[in-house]
Amino acid sequence: MRRHVLTVAFAMLTIAAAARDCTQDDLASFSDIQAVVSRLLSFDMYTSSDEKILDKSGDLAAFAIMRRLTIQEMTSPEKARQILLILHMAFEAPQLITDSCRRTTTAAMLLLDELERTEYGRQPNVIANARFEIQHNTRSGEPLEPATLPGGAVIDTEHSQWVSSVLAWIADIKPGMTRKDLLGVLTTEGGLSTRAHGTYVLKQCPYIKVDVEFLAVPNEQDRLTEKPDDKIVKISRPYLEYAHAD
């Protein structure tokens, strides 16, 4: 407990010192960055407008995360994945980050230090890769390019990152959770469905789907009326398919 208190105190002092380098424009746009960070930490979703804000945010996005989450909340694997996604987006386009306040990595490195102490962060290379990318991009002013073999296909990093995020969002929906939990990430697809079974699509892309089976809770005799507390019994792996109309 003492170590965590000291870490938080040091983080607050570091942030206060770094904030002195921020311009008025930086501080004025910080509320927009906070709003985007809050959405990603709450709903695992982002729009193209959110992405444009994060692309220019740099270390201010890390500041926003530290103001939004407690250290205890960072121990959640779901929150850890969300934090790493936000940091990746905040530093992936260093050529767009022009202000010294945003080009620092002070808060980002503190966040990675905390994540490294969690169960999720102790997985091989998870934090090391994130730290390397942020430091490389900040120092070089150029995004980290993936290595490819001669003659090999060039990886579309941006789209690969988005697909990785989609898989993580859907993986967080597990049997035992409720229909209400599911509808935070997915929505119903057109076509036939029952209270016990239905096909659901990603809110951001109707071509990414899962099939879900439910246990009716309460009033099991009602086979038609979907209830928020219905329990997920089984969820398929995500798959691609064209959208179906009603």
List, for residues 108-127, the tens digit of each pLDDT value.
Answer: 998 999 999 988 888 888 89
pLDDT of residue 6: 40
Q: Residue holding tokens 């789209």? A: 159
Q: What is the pTM of this model?
A: 0.62
The helix/strand count (H/E) of the chain reads as: 10, 5
How far apart CA 235 and CA 213 sit, in angstroms, is: 6
At 24, is the pLDDT very low, low, confident or very high (cuts 50, 70, 90)? low
pLDDT of residue 246: 57
Does residue 136 surpass a pLDDT of 60?
yes
The average pLDDT across 26-32 equals 74
**H helix intervals, the chain:** 2-19, 24-43, 48-55, 59-68, 77-91, 100-103, 106-115, 126-140, 157-171, 179-182
- For the chain, the straight-line distance linking the first and the last C-alpha, in angstroms and rounded, comes to 55
